[in-house]
Structure 1
Amino acid sequence: MSILVRTKQRISRILQAFFGKRTRRIGIYGPPNAGKTTLANRIVRDWIGDAVGPVSEVPHETRRVRRKENITITGSNGHAITFDIVDTPGVTTKIDYNEFLEYGFEKEEAIKRAREATEGVAEAMHWLREDIDGVIYMLDSTQDPFQQVNIMMVGIIESRNLPVLIVANKIDLPDASPARIKSAFPQHPVVAISGLEGSNVDELYETMASYFG
């Protein structure tokens, strides 16, 4: 992140503190390929008819934080929330350029992507420290939720006293086990969805409006 961008953010926070609280920023965090950008795109398309960015089966397709502003979700129970959605790069404990070689990239491009992905993780953590008001933590429900990165990230989010909503994604797949995710993080609300097919996203919107609102 450039000095100019950081300076603008500091000025923005000072002005917001003086004139009133800014719109909430809800960050979508989680490991690579959990479906974060797919969910971000669905939220944005459903409520403002736009999109956040491209998705891919290649790990770390999202290598920079991306934001869409002023999304308002209204639940059937009357709860509503206006927020900025912040789509973040997948957080992991290790980024190896060999991952990209497996998807057919040349070595130079693979090294470049690995470097950008590493920078993206650092940027995502900076946002978590400075600019995020609540977190949707996205998990692939076909994978083991007890991976080190998930325990670490949820612990960091809890240490900041941020509300965290766990989303168990990919329930359309045969090996999905949302119950395993609920047992891993019983201290937080868990909503099981398919971001790709849209299954159960209405329940997610209801929960977001009441939980973050």
Structure 2
Amino acid sequence: MGLLTGLRDSIARVTERLFSASDPKRIGIYGPPNAGKTTLANRIARDWTGDAIGPESHVPHETRRARRKENVEIERNGRTVTIDIVDTPGVTTKVDYKEFLEHDIDEEDAVRRSREATEGVAEAMHWLREDVDGVIYVLDSTEDPFTQVNTMLIGIIESQDLPVLILANKTDLEDSNVKRIENAFPQHTTIPLSALEGDNMDEVYDKIAEYFG
């Protein structure tokens, strides 16, 4: 009886691995607020499914809950890679409601948004530690990448042994400095792009297929 039970358990484990290997990879899009994560997520989703994931905004912390687009099939070089895109809230050490007041949002709504954004950061961290198979880390190439949050998140990603692509976004802007991001994280591949304009998305898709396929 014990032998049969053990054999049945072994078969079940092998079957589980076979099926899980064919499941879409969950790819989390991470980075600081206003780096262009949702713009990128929408660009990928529209290019391959025709649908957007969520609204884009210049207001900070507009994405306050993780949003997911499932079964995005990306075709590159004769093969198809299927991923689930998880657009996460921007991670920061503190969400101040006064940030919202600067965008003509009344105080009550600003306080509510800051509370939701704080909860969203916690949710993003949970996804990173428990529920993603790889990470696309988006940075605004006009901003200094040497921050406590970026260093912390890249460290967590590395400790989880997750494949990661770093995207230097907003290359359409005059102050863009991709080299600064490459120097900040030389151990990882950095790809320049403009998610807004769609510049260099072919290379992004090639790397997604290579890293997450």
Task: Give yes or no for TM over 0.5.
Answer: yes
The offset of 1:80, in angstroms, is 3.4
Mapping of residues 172-183 of structure 1, within 5 Å: 172-183=172-183
Q: Which runs of 4+ in 1 moved over 3 A?
A: 16-19
Q: Which letter does structure 2 place at the counterpart of 1:203? A: E
Q: Which letter does structure 1 place at the counterpart of 2:124? A: A
Q: What RMSD over aligned residues (CA atoms) do the two structures have, in Å? A: 1.5
CA contact (8 A) 1:79 1:210 kept: no
Residue in 2 that maps onto 1:105: 105
The offset of 1:148, in angstroms, is 0.9
Task: Single out whichever of 19-28 and 57-66 deviates more from structure 2.
Answer: 19-28
Residue in 2 that maps onto 1:4: none
Residue in 2 that maps onto 1:54: 55
State the secondary structure of the residue aligned to 1:80.
strand
Mapping of residues 1-213 of structure 1, within 5 Å: 17=16, 20-21=19-20, 22-76=23-77, 78-213=78-213
The offset of 1:212, in angstroms, is 1.2
Counterpart Cα distance in 2 of 1:33 and 1:57: 7
The offset of 1:20, in angstroms, is 2.2
The offset of 1:145, in angstroms, is 0.6
Counterpart Cα distance in 1 of 2:185 and 2:63: 26
| Rg larger for | 2
The superposition leaves residues 20-73 of structure 1 with CA deviations (integer Å, 9 ceiling, x where unpaired) of: 213210000000000000000000000011010001100000000000000111
Residue in 1 that maps onto 2:10: none
CA contact (8 A) 1:29 1:89 kept: yes
Q: 1:18 to 1:162 in 2, by over 3 A?
A: closer
The superposition leaves residues 85-132 of structure 1 with CA deviations (integer Å, 9 ceiling, x where unpaired) of: 000000001110010111111111100000000010111111111110
The superposition leaves residues 149-172 of structure 1 with CA deviations (integer Å, 9 ceiling, x where unpaired) of: 100100011110000100000000
Aligned residues: 198
Q: What TM-score do you get using the length of structure 2 for normalisation?
A: 0.90
Q: Which letter does structure 2 place at the counterpart of 1:201? A: M
Q: 1:79 to 1:166 in 2, by over 3 A?
A: farther
Q: Percent identity?
A: 66
The offset of 1:18, in angstroms, is 7.2
The offset of 1:17, in angstroms, is 4.5
The offset of 1:79, in angstroms, is 4.6
Q: What TM-score do you get using the length of structure 1 for normalisation?
A: 0.90
State the secondary structure of the residue aligned to 1:86.
strand
State the secondary structure of the residue aligned to 1:20.
helix
In structure 2, list runs of 5 or more residues that go unmatched: 1-12
In structure 1, list runs of 5 or more residues that go unmatched: 1-13
CA contact (8 A) 1:80 1:210 kept: no
CA contact (8 A) 1:29 1:135 kept: yes
Counterpart Cα distance in 2 of 1:98 and 1:67: 29
Q: 1:121 to 1:179 in 2, by over 3 A?
A: same
CA contact (8 A) 1:168 1:191 kept: yes
State the secondary structure of the residue aligned to 2:162.
coil
Q: Which letter does structure 2 place at the counterpart of 1:184? A: A
